[in-house]
Structure 1
Amino acid sequence: MTVIKDTLLQLLFALMPSVVYSIYYRNLTVNYSRSFIIVICSLCLILSMTFASSVQAGLIFDIRYVIMFFGILFGGLTTGWILLVEFLIYRLYIGGSGVIDAIIILVITFPLSVMLASVYQRTRHRLWIVFTAGISFSVIPLTVLYITKPDYIMNQLLFNILAIPVQNSLGIWLLITLFNKSVTDKELSLRYVQNEKAEAVNHVAASLAHEVRNPLTTVLGFLQLMKSGTFSPEKTNRFLEISMEEIRRTEQILSDYLSISKPAASIRQRLELISQMQAVVEVMTSYANMNNVALRIRCPQTPIFISGSTAELKQLLVNFIKNAIEASKDVTKGTVEISIREEPPHVVIQIEDNGIGMTEEQLNRLGSIYYSTKMNGTGLGLTFSYQAIRAMNGSVSVSSEPLSGTTFVIRLPIAGG
């Protein structure tokens, strides 16, 4: 029973590098280093020699050869030399009748470990190398001891032909297999994180281009109108004011993206919804005209106040209206109708188009990050809009059928006086 317990303890020491690696590197963004291999192998070597298996005083059996082969394999030859010096010092300190035998065995197994590690790195049949190492580290010690101490081998035959091969062969197979699996999983995880970062950058770049293109398209439209010179000075000044407002909105969008890594809470204030909506419609009318879409609005004459951010409100309204215009540009007599009505304690904004519509699957995914029904869309426009509405304690619903248009209904709380 003692032999079984000691053998299991040695197998536990053999598994320590894999276990510690899995725990220590779990949340780190780097893979193992040579320093880690040196430290963990040194610790395992000391522990395995301290609590070694023994059935005769002076002769100890541990997983030193497994640890050294592992250290050379994953830490390089430098790690092997460090472990070799550590073993010699500690084995001389422990002493006993088996010191000379241990040194002889190490003189044979150390170069063999270096050679097998080199072959392991170059071959595809790595399992055979592990198998060869396990058998070699079991046979060599027994052969040396049979030559120097034949009586001991014969008197403890069962221990030597069972316990030693089990802890060496099984130990080296478990350690290298599990460690390789952990390292491979970590590499895949790191690669996935890198790919995710690159994909996120691509999406942010595409989204930024999408958001900035809206106001720039508006400015370009008004500049083309002013270039014609057919408008009165008052009208031209109004076009200039709208263009400057859109440029300021572009600057705000860029500022928001630059601060995306440390977002600040939006400043909420009391807003008059009707005037904000009319300003957005005035801006989007030129875009609707460019796409041969009629843009109409129906709203109460009395002011309606809500609580929110002016920039966010304008941006989300632009996103919804622009999407409705683009959905209607390829149909005959494309139309987008916007209506505002009070349903206390909420105000309801309805944006309805007679465009291409959406399927049920598209409706279910609408608002999800990076999902878009448009070929070149990113989906971030609606994602932002949905989040902004929720931030204002509002809600949004949508109904649509293919070729029958789409209706968005936005509900926002009415602000108190």
Structure 2
Amino acid sequence: MTSPGTRRISRHRSTPAAHRTGRRADKALRPAGGLPDRLVTVFAVAAGLAVANIYYAHPLLTAIASAFGVGSTAASSVVTASTAGYTVGLALLVPLGDIVNRRRLLVALLLVTALAQAASAAAPTVTALVVLSGLMAVTAVGAPLLVAFAAALARPEQRGQVTGRVMSGVLGGVLLARTGSGLLAQWTGSWRTVFAVAAVGMLVLAALLWRLLPDLEPPEKLGYFALLRSVASVVAQEPLLRLRCLYGFLTFASFSAFWASAAFLLARPPYSYGAALIGAFGLLGVAGAVAARATGPLVDRGRDRLATTLLYGANLVAWALLALDGGRLPVCLVLGVLLLDFGVQGAQVTNLGVLYRLRPEARNRITMAYMSAYFLGGAAGSALSGAVYSAAGWSGVSAAGGGLAALVLVLWGVEQLRGQTT
């Protein structure tokens, strides 16, 4: 079952011949019996550890600002650079999963990421750290590659559930990064230790994936530049992909607006938290992991329209609660973060579950298009948050984040109305 908007869009999707080719590619990739639970767990854990690299700096911003003697805007540039670098990696590297051996690609990227994290641990200036964070994030795109890889191996009737489980691993990695990096920095007395440990972790993960992941041939044979050009063709031919990219951009911009300034909010009175407590605050994001696991089966049952409506509504309510905080109502801050993580991460699983129905042979390109838009939104939200916080404090951040959440809900509602009247 699909939404009216989805039914209307589907008339303009790719040709029957393309769908037949896609189904053949999908069947050729998928092992008999689908993806075993043990391997789903491997994918989930690996995806979480890979994505953690771009979140380690979040609870460390105040420590980084203090170490280099810079303000909140300069320190926030570390987050903005890593988000922007991740977007570049999504655009240039993730599509390779459709034309090269994915196990080898993943291992190579993890090794380069390890090198970049080791260099970040020794960064002499905040400018160097910003540059290194951006370069590191370009190769830290293992998570979307693993999500698409798992979706290719799963049976159609288990794809949403598998995607949800792997995405819950991604969210677990985000929690590990936010919480573990703060605790480790406070325990060792240095934020640099976090990046050094991350480098070692990537080396270990590369070795494990080389041993455990299946060695499958790519679904298509294309040159690299032809592959990149084909991404534009896929986007042009799939209106549903364009819509979900727009929703993803705005949703993650809203999400990043909160986390880019959360460390500064929590470091000031009445909270006055240190790096460890700021990092531990990220444990509230467990709501996102719950949403990821719960949303996947809804997508498998065709309830993606209902799920999308509820999740986008939750994002707006979350920002209403966050706007009430400002140090006055901390319970609203806690509830707002829980709801924001739940809504944003659940929407992410819904969007990917819907999009993975389109073209099995092009899942990495679909992932690249969607995730590029998603993280461009994250970079925009982080930059907006840093500038607004400096100018207008937490009330300005709340207005910006809430406005983005409201815009997503309005656009989704308009699309549903259009679908019902065509």
Please report the TM-score for the alignment, with normalisation by the length of structure 2.
Answer: 0.23
More strand by share: 1
Please report the TM-score for the alignment, with normalisation by the length of structure 1.
Answer: 0.24
Greater RCO (Cα-Cα under 8 Å, separation 6 or more): 2
